[in-house]
A and B are shown apart, each in its own frame.
Chain A
Amino acid sequence: MSRFRKFTQSKSFLLIVLTLIILAIVFIVEPGAYNRGNAAQLMATLSYTGVMLCGIAMLLMSGGFDFSTSAQASVAMLIFAELVRRFPSVPFPIFMLCALVFGVISGSINAFFADGLGLMPFICTIGMSSVWSGLAALYTRGSTIPIRNATFNSIAAQYVFGTPIPWTFVFALVLVLIYSGVVKYTRFGRSILMSGGNPTAARLAGLNPRKIQAMLFINNGVLAAVAGLIWASQQKMGSPTGFSTAGADMTCLTASILGGVSFMGGAGALGGAFLGIILIQVLAYSLQVMGLPNWVITLINGSLLVIAISIDTFNVRRRMKKLGLKTASMGGPRMGMPGMR
């Protein structure tokens, strides 16, 4: 099969075509929407969700998930905002480092529960999400912390040579490329996919699936903190609810599955996931620009997740059938949760 034909049959191609179709519809219905402001706003959203996506997609490949990603991002940026407010004379990169250290700590806590104790990642991260967002609300009493550091605030407002593309978007893109390279071309990346797809086989091959997943949990915490900092720079404040109301982690989950990162672990590429998130954000923006009511947007978001997962489950079953494996243990009335070992 030629390279071109292979590409036209891939999921990525489908995602690109869908995105272009949506853009075309918007162009017909609401041509005025094609302006610099909208493009810049879309790019701004893509830059922090793109960073977050890298962490979540990598974790999904290893068969885990982190529902506390948004909460971690919120706490990280609140730590940064509060430190900058308290000590305005200290150079702010030190505080950015503090936020990243928080990411390492929170990621380690998740790793402890999910991989140390062997609890289901899905449930224990829900508990952690409630702890972090509760702490954030407790400290701020529900209000936001403004950031008055001009240098920090201008980070997200730096555009590439006058285009509406911010440097933060380029940063996200580079991260996606790096992580995708790690998955595709390194031994570690291969071992992530293997331990996600078949933990028993991975263990027999001398890998340590729990250790690999623990590393990815910490990685996810750090990337969540980075995403939080990008958001803080864009909004010039730290907010306890900014991420959770946007549901950024669920968006990343949907995007990953749309892009071919399997929910059962062990498959997928980051490039597809990134195209998935572009599709979702373009869709969300288009719906808003076209003035559709809020419930339609929520409905489409929910259905998109259902559809993406149905396709994923179908693909996994087909693959298993081809290999002659039983599929009874996959889903069904049982939990069949990935990460249960």
Chain B
Amino acid sequence: MDNFTRISTFKKAIRSKAFPLLILFVIMIVLFTALAPLNDANFLTTRTFISILRDLSVPGFLAIGAGCLMVSGGIDLSQATVAAMTGVTIAVSVGWWNLPWYAAVIIALLIALCIGLVNAILVNELNMMPFIATMAMSTVTRAVMMLIATDQTGQMQGSINYNNPTLTLIGNYEIGGFLPATIIAMIIAFIFYGLLLSKTKFGRSVYLIGGNPMAARLAGINSKKTSYILFMNCSLMGGLAGLIYTSRVKQGSLSAMATDQFTGLTAAILGGISFGGGSGGMGGAFIGLLVIKTFNKGMTIIGASSYVTNVLSGALLLAALSFDYYSQRRQRKRIGA
């Protein structure tokens, strides 16, 4: 016991998976600051960092939902489609059906919850693999989205505009004129879910289910119920992300957030939530996301094309996976398994 307490918080921080990411973050800042003048731009400014955080707030919600689910060993690939679906539903309800904005938001989030419920049923009751079940659900959701986006003349609209000042304010309100409120909301959500996972009985059970499902069952944990909650939570977070996004761009788009489909996933793995569950946390996921978005922003500032960023984001996912694999192997070796 004495040995345990002697490992200082500092040492623990260095040993954690998020630490290399922090170093990577610092290196990136130095590198982009040095390279930015070549493109007649400036990287190290408050505006850059606020804009990075602002870019982060939409995928931040995705990462929270995906991260919690992954800790328990599940996965959801329909999240980004759910986000797009939420945006389209809100835009259609407000723009075409003239519903009040709060009704539109409630309907859209309820739909998101329903999709999460169907995912959970497919996985838990029909015993389908989460990976493929959610992938198929993503296609089904897309079909429903296309139906909703079909106007009276039978034409499918790629994007639906709406005009509602309150709704637009949700994603665009800036505290004091410079700090977007969504950043604060995202940080609060990260802290809330971080505490939920690490400090509560429910959070502990999520880790146990992810790490050793058999032991969890023997310990009397209702893993099915937890799985239902996490799948629905994942879709709900997708819905919130979609709400902020649609509020920001003032329209609902069928192709919204298509590029962010794997951002939440990559961030979670980068931050130490490993595949198969049982490890990692919200802090790591946040830093993972920070690294990804800083990288994207930096690439834009030094003038690289979006195509390059696309290629590198795939490479980043692979790198994160390989890194995860190696650290898992090292860990297994250490405990002699």
**What are 14 A-B residue pairs whose CB atoms fall within 8 Å in the complex?**
A128-B314, A138-B310, A301-B139, A302-B136, A302-B137, A302-B138, A302-B140, A305-B135, A309-B128, A333-B74, A333-B123, A333-B124, A333-B223, A334-B277
Nearest-Cβ distance from residue A168 to partner chain B, whole angstroms: 28
**A126 CA to B122 CA, complexed, in Å:** 22
Q: Which A residue's beta carbon lies closest to that of B126?
A: A310
Q: Are A263 and B129 in contact (CB under 8 A)?
A: yes
Q: Using Cβ atoms and an 8 Å threshold, which residues of chain A touch B127? A: 313, 317, 327, 330-332
From B132, B223, B276, B317, contact of A130 by CB (8 A): B317
Q: Are A295 and B140 in contact (CB under 8 A)?
A: no
Q: What are the interface flags for A300-315 relative to B under an 8 Å C-beta threshold, 1 for contact and 0 otherwise? A: 0111011001100100
CB of B72 within 8 Å of the partner chain: yes
* Contact-residue size bin, chain A (C-beta under 8 Å from the other chain): 35 or more
Q: Are A334 and B156 in contact (CB under 8 A)?
A: no
Nearest-Cβ distance from residue A184 to partner chain B, whole angstroms: 27
CB of B39 within 8 Å of the partner chain: no
Q: Which B residue's beta carbon lies closest to that of A68?
A: B314
From A123, A124, A132, A333, contact of B73 by CB (8 A): A333
CB of A204 within 8 Å of the partner chain: no
Q: Which A residue's beta carbon lies closest to that of B213?
A: A334
From B126, B154, B322, contact of A293 by CB (8 A): B154
Q: Using Cβ atoms and an 8 Å threshold, which residues of chain A touch B132? A: 263, 305, 309
From B133, B147, B312, contact of A295 by CB (8 A): B147
CB of B305 within 8 Å of the partner chain: yes
**A117 CA to B327 CA, complexed, in Å:** 12
Q: Using Cβ atoms and an 8 Å threshold, which residues of chain B touch A299? A: 140, 143-144, 147
**A44 CA to B209 CA, complexed, in Å:** 49
Nearest-Cβ distance from residue A335 to partner chain B, whole angstroms: 6
Q: Are B307 and A120 in contact (CB under 8 A)?
A: no
Q: Are A119 and B322 in contact (CB under 8 A)?
A: yes
Q: Are A122 and B131 in contact (CB under 8 A)?
A: yes
CB of A296 within 8 Å of the partner chain: yes
**A119 CA to B322 CA, complexed, in Å:** 7
CB of A207 within 8 Å of the partner chain: no
Q: Which B residue's beta carbon lies closest to that of A307?
A: B136
Known: A113-B321, A137-B307, A334-B277. 15 other contacts (CB 8 A): A117-B322, A119-B321, A123-B275, A127-B314, A134-B310, A137-B310, A294-B146, A295-B146, A302-B139, A306-B122, A313-B127, A313-B128, A332-B123, A335-B130, A335-B131
Q: Using Cβ atoms and an 8 Å threshold, which residues of chain A touch B143? A: 295-296, 298-299, 301-302
Nearest-Cβ distance from residue B84 to partner chain A, whole angstroms: 13
CB of A129 within 8 Å of the partner chain: yes
Q: Are A333 and B310 in contact (CB under 8 A)?
A: no
Nearest-Cβ distance from residue A317 to partner chain B, whole angstroms: 7
Q: Which A residue's beta carbon lies closest to that of B155?
A: A293
CB of B335 within 8 Å of the partner chain: no
A335 with B129: in contact, given A134-B311, A302-B143, A306-B122 (CB under 8 Å)?
A: yes
User: Interface size on B (CB < 8 Å)?
Assistant: 54
Q: In the complex, which residues 90-147 of chain A have their Cβ closer than 8 Å to any Cβ of chain B?
A: 113, 117-120, 122-124, 126-135, 137-138, 141
Q: Are A298 and B128 in contact (CB under 8 A)?
A: no
CB of A22 within 8 Å of the partner chain: no
Q: In the complex, which residues 316-331 of chain B have their Cβ closer than 8 Å to any Cβ of chain A?
A: 317-318, 321-322, 325
**A299 CA to B144 CA, complexed, in Å:** 7
A335 with B75: in contact, given A124-B318, A301-B139, A303-B140 (CB under 8 Å)?
A: yes
Q: Using Cβ atoms and an 8 Å threshold, which residues of chain B touch A340? A: 276
Q: What are the interface flags for A182-220 relative to B under an 8 Å C-beta threshold, 1 for contact and 0 otherwise? A: 000000000000000000000000000000000000000
A127 with B133: in contact, given A118-B325, A298-B142, A310-B126 (CB under 8 Å)?
A: no
CB of B227 within 8 Å of the partner chain: yes
Q: Which A residue's beta carbon lies closest to that of B72?
A: A333
Complex A-B, nearest 3 residue pairs according to Cβ-Cβ distance, in ascending order: A130-B314, A302-B139, A134-B311
Q: Are A298 and B139 in contact (CB under 8 A)?
A: yes
**A128 CA to B138 CA, complexed, in Å:** 20
Q: Which A residue's beta carbon lies closest to that of B75?
A: A335
Q: Are B322 and A113 in contact (CB under 8 A)?
A: yes
Q: Are B156 and A117 in contact (CB under 8 A)?
A: no
Q: Are A310 and B128 in contact (CB under 8 A)?
A: yes
CB of A287 within 8 Å of the partner chain: no
Q: Which A residue's beta carbon lies closest to that of B139?
A: A302
Q: In the complex, which residues 315-334 of chain A have their Cβ closer than 8 Å to any Cβ of chain B?
A: 317, 327, 330-334
CB of A88 within 8 Å of the partner chain: no
Q: Are A126 and B262 in contact (CB under 8 A)?
A: yes
